[in-house]
Amino acid sequence: MTVHTAPVAILGTGHCAPDRVVSNGEVGAAAGVDDAWIVRKTAIRERRWAEPDQATSDLATGAARQALEAAGITADQLSTIVVATSTPDQQQPATAAFVHRNLGGTGTGVSAFDMNAVCAGFVYALDVVHAMVARSGGYGLVIGADVYSRILNPADPRSVILFGDGAGAAVVGPADSGRGIRASTFHFYSEMTDLIRVPAGGSRQPCDPATHDAGLHYFAMDGRTAREFGNATVPGLVKQFLHDSAVLPSDIVHVVPHQPNGVMLDDLVSRLDLPSATLHRSVNEYGNTGSASVPLTLDRAARSGALRRGDLILLVGLGGGVSIGLTLLEW
């Protein structure tokens, strides 16, 4: 666990989602399931999917602009941009490079790169940017963005009904003492690497007609095992994290977790033993937006006025790998 002593905080947040609303009826038709089945299994009622001309960097840029405005700074004040994504615009260069260009960056004295911890990516990236800002000063931009609709098998009810596209962003910078990013911890379970996967498209299995015909370019996962693993693992990690941070479970005012599935989310959070915490969710309207789910949900909570100065917020990231990240914020 890392305890952060430098006064660095989230100064502004933003999010961006495509305009196109995709109903359960639309995704369920090809997958052979109906609206009632999807709602019963996932609590998801709709999601947003990108238009053909929209890429991950476009959504990331939209979220970034909102976050910059909320923080009251301009893009030329940024010292670093990190995009957490598992659906980059292209293999090279980093999606963060396109975001920097879209924001009108000049490149002088700025670092811009991507991270991939799948759906836990934003929590991982937030810790990296915190360290960079604490060491060197300036302002950092952390973005979680994914366009999963491009890698979904329309006939697979285990995945196509779950995912939406979106982006969430946060500006990180120096803050008043007594608030900010207080602590983080990370865990990785590489024995579970095959649980969530896109087999083709990398150096081990480049995309070719054979992998395409076999559907290996599609996202796939063992949802039941993922749910069982999360329920069995995350509550104990949260309990230990709060203990190590000298925080009581009753001190947590808000919990902002990854949004894998509404039913799974309720089940998981009920096991966390956070009696005073408000659960913030976006999954019902946006679906699982991958690495965007934590920052998108956080921004919705911030813009609703639910987050008050001094509130303790627990971020919970859970992604393929399997990667788990926990961060404690004082708003």
- Quote the pLDDT of residue 179: 82
- Quote the pLDDT of residue 195: 87
- Quote the pLDDT of residue 3: 63
Of 254, 258, 261, 280, catalytic:
258
Active site residue 288: yes
Exposure pattern of 271-285 as b/e (b: 16+ CB <10 Å)? ebebeebbbbbbbbe
- Quote the pLDDT of residue 181: 94
pLDDT at 5 over 80: no
pLDDT at 284 over 80: yes
- pLDDT tens readout for residues 199-249: 889 999 999 999 998 888 999 888 888 889 989 999 999 999 999 999 999
Instruction: Say which residue the tokens 């987050």 belong to.
Output: 307
Question: pTM of the prediction?
Answer: 0.96
224 or 322: which carries more pLDDT confidence? 322
- Quote the pLDDT of residue 109: 83
- pLDDT tens readout for residues 50-85: 999 999 999 999 999 999 999 999 999 999 999 999
- pLDDT tens readout for residues 161-198: 999 999 999 999 998 766 899 999 999 999 988 989 99
CA distance 170 to 331: 13
Structure tokens at 270: 């009920």
- Quote the pLDDT of residue 285: 97
Say if CB 313 and CB 328 are below 8 A apart.
yes
Exposure pattern of 212-234 as b/e (b: 16+ CB <10 Å)? eeeebbbbbbebeebbebbeebb
- Quote the pLDDT of residue 178: 67
pLDDT interval class at 2 (50, 70, 90): low
Instruction: Say which residue the tokens 């788990």 belong to.
Output: 324
CA distance 295 to 63: 10
For the chain, domains (ranges, CATH) are 1-331 (3.40.47.10)
- Quote the pLDDT of residue 7: 86
Active site residue 119: yes
Of 15, 16, 119, 280, catalytic:
119
Distances in Å between the Cα of 201 and the Cα atoms of 118, 197, 208, 292, 298 are 16, 11, 9, 22, 32
- pLDDT tens readout for residues 110-166: 999 999 999 999 999 999 999 999 998 899 999 999 999 999 999 999 999 999 999
Of 24, 116, 261, 288, catalytic:
288
Element (H, E) at 19: none
- Quote the pLDDT of residue 223: 83
- pLDDT tens readout for residues 6-64: 789 999 999 999 999 999 999 999 999 999 999 999 999 999 999 999 999 999 999 99
CA distance 39 to 161: 10
- pLDDT tens readout for residues 93-109: 999 999 999 999 776 68
- Residue 190 carries which side chain, given as an amino acid letter? S
